[in-house]
Amino acid sequence: MLTLNIDWFQPFDGRTHSSGAIYLSINNLPRSERLKSENVILVGMMPGPKEASTDSMNHYLKPLVDELLEMYIGVEMTDS
């Protein structure tokens, strides 16, 4: 199981500029391990200068969604 996270941050001191990080955390790990840098998957960055609209975020998320759909379709589960 994965959790999709989007965090906005200001990379420059004294300037109004927000950039966004899109990352996945792995829920199968113990809670104390999930957000350690070695266990976080950086999916993409949104450059700003302000927080993206929902429509814009969809464009940034499309490559991730396409990859996840491909993985979902390509994994066959059997009872044996």
Structural domain spans, the chain = 2-74
DSSP E strands in 2-39: the ranges are 2-9, 19-26
Q: Is the CB of residue 18 less than 8 Å from the CB of residue 50?
A: yes
- pTM for this entry: 0.78
In this predicted structure, what is the pLDDT of residue 71? 87
Q: Is the pLDDT of residue 30 over 80?
A: yes
Query: Which band of pLDDT confidence, cut at 50, 70 and 90, is reported for residue 39?
Result: very high
Contacts with 19 (C-beta within 8 Å, 6 or more apart), sequence order: 8, 9, 10, 11, 45, 46, 47, 48
**7 strand-pairing partners:** 21
- Tens of pLDDT, residue by residue over 43-75, are 999 998 899 999 999 999 999 999 999 888 887
